[in-house]
Amino acid sequence: MPSLILTAVVRIFFVIMLVGSLWVLLRGHNEPGGGFIGGLVGAAGFSVLALALGVEAARRALVLHPVVLMGAGLAVAFASGVPGILTDGSFLTHQWGTLAGVKLGTTIVFDLGVYMVVVGGVLSFMFRLYAEDAV
Amino acid sequence: MADATALLVLWPVLIPIATAALTAALWKSPVAQRRVGLASLALLLVASLALVWAVIDEGVIAKQFGAWAAPFGISFVADPLSAAMIAISGILAFAVGIFALSDIKERHERAGFHPLFHGLLAGVNGAFLTGDIFNLYVWFEVMLITTLGLLVVQRGRAQIDGALKYAAMNLFGTILFLIAVALLYGATGTLNMADLARILPQMEMSPGLTASALLFLAAFGIKAGVFPLFFWLPASYHTAPIAIAALFAGLLTKVGVYAAFRVFTLMFEMEGGALREIVAVVAALTMITGVFGAAIQWNVRRILSFHIISQIGYMLMGLAIATPVAIAGAVFYIVHHIIVKANLFLLAGAIKHAAGTDDLRKAGGLLKSHPWLAVLFLIPALSLAGIPPLSGFWAKFLVIDASLRVEAWWLAAVALGVGALTLFSMSKIWMEAFWKKPVLVRATPRTVPVAFVVPIALLGAVTLTIGLFADPFVEYARTATAMLVDPTDYIAAVFPGEAPVRTVEYPAATQGAIE
């Protein structure tokens, strides 16, 4: 049963949760956080959207099919390890550089991949669970 | 550019992971997934064979993930045993991939067949190559999750039932595994297998370590399907589509056996305590229950599922005897068995297709309608039963010969008896499906797709090659065993900077002089 209050505030919640999840993702660079819990927060945001406005609305908001997102995320995480092969190291040897005073590395690419895998993985069964509930 | 040879250790895992990612990203197009999948399997085959080649050429190859030095980073190590397992699973995956072209329907692909299939291959290859005991646990989990997914790609009551039984038993097994790892880490403070191989021989077998060893044995026993922990196997394998069941039959239980061989040669000694007797009795009971379980079945795939169990007994027998000859025999046995068993499952699929049923009581007449199928069936069937000159004969010969050498008469007698009963089961399939007059006469004969015949013939050719030119394979198994029994090379490959404990085997006469 859709609740009026939830439907009214869900878009604000969704944006806050999504921004929060990205903040957690980036915070993981040096402090507790990272792709995994960031992904969970992000997936929770989409789940709230699905709860309030229905699975179809959440699917539209996600744009990509959850499994596609999962595959793309795995591919991104995989790609982050490849530079390690090309340099003298091994797979997943992360590379570092400085851009305008900020230390950047391929680790953030890996974390982004994890974030996508978690969002895709959680949502691929969450959407189906909600969809079956509605029937 | 990094040293290309050392990188060979990574490809058998990286290729399937990348493919799983790509096929999942191509979710909308099963055709594209199929193409990417097949190309990747061909690539994997090449990479696997290249790895064996490199290991034969250069000995043990090790690589650290992320260039973190051992024992802190995760090592990937290819010794002759793991390289052989990688090569065999590469060949098998390629054959099953071709078979799947006809066997796997679009609804299976829509349920995620391709990402799960390649994910499973990544898990299996990771388990074969990892040099870190906790990492081994992680690969076991990868295998567990993908296996569960594959069991239910065909959605039905029987599949869910099989998957639940599989999940219950195997989750329990992984928990035991995790506890064993925790106990081991508590006692030694390291998880790197090569490091453990250095530390453990110098340690007292404390109660904690003994418990850890027994838990490892139970965890791998569940994975391998040994007595009395096997019942999940015949309850689940026959419910999956043939291509998937063949991959399971070939690889999954053997990962458990491989892990047992790795842990109980590299880390724990079989000599200590009652471990040896336990494994010997378990091996004998596994052989017997498996073969009797098969004797009363009428469904081809169920017969074959029970035979997996009885054959696992032979491999464990090698571990129980634990002489180098016995371990070499068991290594040869694993390689032979993976090919033969998967081939028999593929043949069960072909029989089902040709006869329209896999209940033997209703089948029949295939010798007349599909004579070449009968020939292709005889190769793995007789090999499984151990008829010379096929690969199974040499495998059984090596293991039984080893048991006679240590005068384990009863073990040898059990092995021989079980061999005879295996022949009974195989001749049952032969009599009922091929020889007997057809029960239901069909107006139009059913043809078997080319994609079924090619992998069956390919695997049959491998079996024949191993059987007729057994010598290099036995020699390889001996080399692999030498490395297992004396892990000096394994340790040296993981810790290249440090002076090896012992570089060469000195002849007995000079040993005193050097020391």
Instruction: Give A37→chain B minimum CA distance, Å.
Output: 19
pLDDT at A2: 67
pLDDT at B515: 38
CA distance B475 to B50: 19
CA distance A54 to A64: 17
B2 inside 8 A of chain A by CB: yes
Q: 């969809």: which residue's tokens?
A: A131
List the single range of B133-142, B221-230, B469-478 with lowest mean pLDDT.
B221-230
CB B237 within 8 A of CB B245: yes
For B:59-78, CB contacts with A below 8 A are 63-67
| Mean predicted lDDT score pLDDT of chain A | 86
Fill in the amino acid letter for B426.
Answer: M
| pLDDT tens-digit series, residues B168-179 | 888 999 999 999
With a cut of 90, say whether residue B507 has pLDDT above it: no
| Mean predicted lDDT score pLDDT of chain B | 87
Q: Which residues of A touch B65 (CB under 8 A)?
A: 90-92
Give the domain range for residue B81.
Answer: 4-494
pLDDT at B59: 86
Chains A, B: CB contacts within 8 A come to 69
| Structure tokens given for B15 | 């290729």
A29 inside 8 A of chain B by CB: no
Residue B508 lies in a domain: no
CA distance B123 to B136: 9
Fill in the amino acid letter for B434.
Answer: F
| Structure tokens given for B399 | 């293991």
Burial of residue B45 (number of CB atoms within 10 Å: 0-12, 13-18, 19+) = buried
Supply the pTM of this predicted model. Answer: 0.90
Alpha helices in A1-135 (DSSP H): 4-27, 35-53, 55-62, 66-86, 107-134
| Start-to-end CA span in chain A (Å) | 12
Give Cα B11 to chain centroid, integer Å.
Answer: 19
With a cut of 90, say whether residue B45 has pLDDT above it: yes
| Structure tokens given for B395 | 């495998």
Residue B506 lies in a domain: no
What DSSP state is assigned to residue B61?
E
| pLDDT tens-digit series, residues B188-203 | 888 999 999 888 888 8
Q: How far is CA B417 from CA A32, B156, B293, B352, B414, in A?
A: 61, 38, 15, 30, 5
Q: How much is the average pLDDT of B463-491?
A: 89
> What phi-psi label fits residue B47: left (phi over 0), alpha (psi between -120 and 50 degrees) or beta?
alpha
Fill in the amino acid letter for B192.
Answer: N
Q: Which residues of A touch B115 (CB under 8 A)?
A: 67, 71
B378 inside 8 A of chain A by CB: no
Residue B277 lies in a domain: yes
Q: Which of B65-79, B127-141, B432-446 has the highest mean pLDDT?
A: B127-141
Q: Which of B240-254, B358-372, B441-455 has the highest mean pLDDT?
A: B240-254
Residue in B1, B25, B28 closest to A75 by CB:
B25
Residue in A73, A75, A88 closest to B2 by CB:
A88
A98 inside 8 A of chain B by CB: no
Residue A92's CB is within 10 A of a number of other CB atoms, namely 24
For chain B, how are helix, strand and coil distributed in percent, rounded to 5?
75, 5, 20
Residue in B1, B2, B27 closest to A65 by CB:
B27
CA distance B246 to B243: 5
With a cut of 50, say whether residue B510 has pLDDT above it: no
Beta strands at A96-99 and B75-78: parallel, antiparallel or unpaired: unpaired
Binned at pLDDT 50, 70 and 90, residue B1 comes out as very low
Instruction: Give B74→chain A minimum CA distance, Å.
Output: 11
Between vectors from CA B226 to CA B224 and to CA B227, what angle results, nearest 5°?
A: 165
CA distance B307 to B384: 9
Residue B499 lies in a domain: no
| pLDDT tens-digit series, residues B270-288 | 666 678 888 889 999 999 9
Output the DSSP codes for B218-259. Answer: HHHHHHHT-TTS-THHHHHGGGS-HHHHHHIIIIIHHHHHHH
Greater confidence (B194 vs B6) lies with B194
Q: In residues, how long is chain A? A: 135
With a cut of 70, say whether residue B514 has pLDDT above it: no
With a cut of 80, say whether residue A135 has pLDDT above it: no
> What phi-psi label fits residue B502: left (phi over 0), alpha (psi between -120 and 50 degrees) or beta?
beta
- Sheet strands (E) in B405-479: none
| Structure tokens given for B62 | 């090790």
Using DSSP, state whether A31 is helix, strand or coil: coil
> What phi-psi label fits residue B225: left (phi over 0), alpha (psi between -120 and 50 degrees) or beta?
left
For A:33-62, CB contacts with B below 8 A are none
DSSP collapsed to 3 states, B315-350: HHHHHHHCCHHHHHHHHHHHHHHHHHHHHHHHHHHH
Q: Which residues of B touch A85 (CB under 8 A)?
A: 2, 7, 10
Which residue of chain A is at minimal alpha-carbon distance from B75? A90
Residue B218 lies in a domain: yes
B4 inside 8 A of chain A by CB: no
Which residue of chain A is at minimal alpha-carbon distance from B4? A85
With a cut of 90, say whether residue B102 has pLDDT above it: no
Q: Which residues of B touch A78 (CB under 8 A)?
A: 14, 17-18, 21
Give Cα A85 to chain centroid, integer Å.
Answer: 26
pLDDT at B72: 84
Taking CB atoms and an 8 Å limit, are A75 and B27 in contact across chains? no
Residue B77 lies in a domain: yes
CB B45 within 8 A of CB B94: yes
Instruction: Give A5→chain B minimum CA distance, Å.
Output: 36
Question: What total of structural domains would you count in chain B?
Answer: 1
| Start-to-end CA span in chain B (Å) | 43
CA distance B117 to B108: 11
CA distance B399 to B325: 8
| Structure tokens given for B393 | 């004969």
ipTM comes to 0.86
Residue B502 lies in a domain: no
With a cut of 90, say whether residue B67 has pLDDT above it: no
| pLDDT tens-digit series, residues B358-382 | 788 888 888 888 888 889 999 999 9
CA distance B14 to B129: 12
The sign of the dihedral angle between the CA atoms of B495, B499, B501, B504 is positive
Rg (CA), chain A: 17
Rg (CA), chain B: 22
List the single range of A71-80, B343-352, B436-445 with lowest mean pLDDT.
B436-445
Residue in A71, A74, A93 closest to B66 by CB:
A93
CA distance B223 to B254: 8
Q: How much is the average pLDDT of B436-459?
A: 82
Residue B429 lies in a domain: yes
List residues bridging with A4 in a β-sheet.
none
Binned at pLDDT 50, 70 and 90, residue A42 comes out as very high
Residue A20's CB is within 10 A of a number of other CB atoms, namely 15
Cis amide bond preceding B234, omega within 30: no
Torsion of CA B222, B228, B232, B235, to 10 degrees: 150
